[in-house]
Structure 1
Amino acid sequence: MAEKRMVHGWRVAPATRAALLGLHPPRYEQVVAEHVTFKVGPEESAMPEVDHCLAVGMADDGLGVQALVVEIGGTTDRPDGSTWHITWSLAEGRRAKESNDVIAALGWQALAESRHIPLIPGWWTWTSS
């Protein structure tokens, strides 16, 4: 049964997304590369007021989860203790929320050059199965 959840965060602008995908090709068939999550669920605290992030690293478990690690406000550390990231691509059967586990377990590799990514703050509904 599908579950709908409210997600608060920042979207990556479509033109920026396309350029980033050219620089960092997705490894798996399901391309995500669309947002940075601040929080899932009801809004209980205000999101940081930011209009961009910096892409600084890539995580990949080699089994179907690839994530672009980003800095917001000068840090990769999210308030909940996990790492700011954009789920980049997924293999069949894998889920975006697994990016947190992959980064925590395996770490990430620094990019040769950081990239400025404009962000659009907002919220949306995410349906998971």
Structure 2
Amino acid sequence: MPVGWKLEERCRAALLLRFPPRYPRVIADHVTLNLQDRVPPPPVGAAQVIGRCDDDAGVEALVVRIDGSTARPDGLVWHVTWSLADGRATGKQRSHRHARLVVRRTLSARAGPRALVER
């Protein structure tokens, strides 16, 4: 069961205006901490969008810095899956692809994630 932080609706709306999704399937709602835990994640002091990346094959993400780091505990990169092309999947395989993407430009916007256990 995935565990992570849900973006507050006002933050999500502001980010969607600032970073219009490239692909038709808009996700743009959470940052995953891990895919297997059931324990709620710890509170976040600060979260900031620091980059936008796109694999040019249907996966777009915003790179996020959480409490000063972009590194997840599993060694991958904190991110919000922003949008997907039709036929592209979400899940562990996609997360590994994000970890290999190149951040094309540095951008900043405050985000206020709140703890959420996705059920």
TM-score with structure 1 length normalisation? Answer: 0.82
Per the alignment, residue 3 of structure 1 pairs with: none
1:99, CA displacement in angstroms? Answer: 4.1
Letter in 2 for 1:27: R
- Choose 1 or 2 for highest CA Rg: 1
5+ residue gaps, structure 1, are 1-5
Tell me how many residue pairs correspond in the alignment: 118
Tell me the residue number matched to 1:14.
9
Deviations 1:3-38 (A, max 9, x none): xxx221100011211111110000000000000000
Q: Deviations over 1:76-98 (max 9, x none)?
A: 00010000000000011112335
In the alignment, structure 2 segments of 5+ residues that lack a partner are none
**Residue 59 of structure 1 contacts residue 102 of structure 1 at CA under 8 Å; is this kept in 2?**
no
2:6/2:30 contact within 8 Å kept? yes
Moved more, 34-43 or 62-71: 34-43
Whether 1:80 aligns to 2:70 is no
Amino acid in the other structure paired with 1:83? V
How far apart are the structure 2 equivalents of 1:124 and 1:25?
Answer: 25
Larger strand share, 1 or 2: 1
Which of structure 1's runs of 4+ aligned residues deviate more than 6 A?
Answer: none
RMSD between aligned residues: 1.7
